[in-house]
Structure 1
Amino acid sequence: MCGALLSSPSAVILGAVNGLFLASLAHFTIGGPAFTIIIVIETILLFTRLISLKRVSRIRSTGEIPGIDIPITLSILWCALQGALFFFSMRSGNTGMMVLVAAHCMGLVGPLCARNYAAPRLGMLLVALCVGPFLAGAASTGEPLMLALLALLPGFLVGSIQLLAHYRSAMLSALSAELINAERARRDPLTGLLNRHGLEGVMKKLSRDEVFSLVCFDLDGFKPINDRFGHAAGDDLLCEVANRMESALADGQVLARIGGDEFLVLLPGQDAQTAEAVIEAVLAKVSGAPYAADAKSLVEIGVTAGFACYPDDATNIAELHVLADRALYAAKKAGKGIGTRYAPTLAA
């Protein structure tokens, strides 16, 4: 959307070249100070717009979102200048210039709608700044056939609105599909939690100077329940476990399901002491009450955890995950239903 509003250097240059060509032609064919002034302003606007677009491009290359107020203001000024060119050219009564100007005016409408579909009101303003003076200049000639152009105005405006609406609809559909696909790529389809990819994206945004902990959770006794009552019951149980885990977490603490009955919790800004408290809360929530496996059967499920802290235990995210998983394995080996922090003695 931002790129569409800001246009492009090639479009700016081509539009300015066409405008300068017509203004120069009018200057030598018709004469008068109006076209000289238009040529000077067109030249100044061209260099100003190119400098502005270069600055915008530099900002966007850094990953930041540039301001668009200046480029949009310059686009409005340029369209107003084209309108002035059209008005004085049509008012001159020179048939050749009138034909060239009419062709240039009509040729601007499609590109203006195409580049500004993200902002329909801006698009209509730019079109009006070009077409309005053109029609006014035509009407001021007093020629009956020129006055007939005014009768075409309603249909012309409707066509412009439809063109903008078409481009906007296509843009919104494309953006919606892109957002849906991006969200699906980072979400577990069963529980709606972040998946491994989604959690990694969150972790990459953490500052290298920030303390955080990563906790691996694995359910105890899930497989026998899944085998006995079926995968549908197992899926329902996993969703309920995910809900209970989330209810034990505070704002900013991120839960993800990375496959099967394995879950990860990211604790930004949390040290080992806080991580242990979170683990205790999750263990209590998950195993605190039985689950309905079917209409008649209640089952119990437990959970075991292992965790590691950054930067005390690991120097990067990948290593932190490995160490937290190693702590989980040690906790499982020690008797399950507990939480264990990674220690170098677990390395063997």
Structure 2
Amino acid sequence: MKLTTEQRVEMIKKAIMCEKPERVPVVNKAEPSYAIQYAGYDMKKALWSPEMIVDAYDKLYTDVYVDATGGLPRFPLFYKTTGSRAFVPREQDDFVQHPEVEGLQADEYDEYIADPFKCIVNKIVPRIYPKLAKEGAEGSLNYLRAMIADNQIKAKYMAGTIAVEKKHNLVSIRRGAVEAPFDFVADLLRGFTGISMDVRRNPNKVKEAVEATLPIMYKVAKLVNPVPSITNSLFIPLHMPSYMRTKDFENLYWPTFKRLVVDLINDGYTLQIFFEKNWTRYYEFLQELPKGVIAYFEEDDMGVVKEKIGKQMCIMGNFPITMLRLNTKQECIDKAKEIIDKAAPGGGYMFCMDKSILSLSDAKPENLIAVSEFVHEYGVYK
């Protein structure tokens, strides 16, 4: 049964607000790279062509049942124009990857803490995007070229995406992304290795840097998602907590992250937060957060998640994409049923995979089609 856009909006709103909709919404986690391969297109050509990506998604949505979608490709154009070291297109196909980078030296914390924006502009950006640091007019021209071209390609993509979503009656539930303050310091300033050493050797400086980062992340959130709404959530992927000691998480990560979440929810935002790896030891912290969160889990048992935080957060995730690659169609359906039976009762639940599906080697199309259709048919509230 094909639902109207209005029916899907109402269904998704109820799930986000921890109420019981007519059905369990099915959330798409197939990335543009998967859609491109599914459509049989050349990856390198398609990543430079928003029209090809839009057409690929049109083909995917024709075959795979989806209620909710959202997100934006990382087009290689911007990263090549700026010489990015943080996000690097692969040689063979221009798929953008995120290697470890160090934009801030260990002895530069004080400079960053004193004026983070100035430090980002004068030191960190030139290190991470070296073509913007070229002497004379060249650096400025590279910046203008990158921004104009990036805005043009994204505008074409968004226009095409809106048309495809309208054609298939889909609801976009994600607009823009921002990092938790600690993750920003870890990912773009110090790198995983650097921040891991700093937490042990100089935790007070780390804490000051994270505190100084909070206002910037708040402003970034407002820029990338200027009009808050229930369904158009702001995405926040959480990287470091599963690698931290609980006491370090409590002292260095949690305070600024909680303030960011509370402030944005008070401003009317819905936040789609990706809890990477396993969060079992942090459930008591999550119980402090207000309603307005779509809690997207990777490894956690959804029955336990439902019990611990299901009354205050819409939950989703946990279906292992490895099963879509390795298991039979029936085994995949059985796993989907198991998760729904744990997480769906009472509402406040949306079905999706444990992580993004990047390529055909991640998921057999026939298994993805079968699971999505099964969830749509089985996930009916009575």
> Please, what TM-score do these two structures have when normalized by structure 2?
0.23
Q: Which has the higher helix share?
A: 1
Which structure has the higher relative contact order (CA within 8 Å, separation 6+)? 2
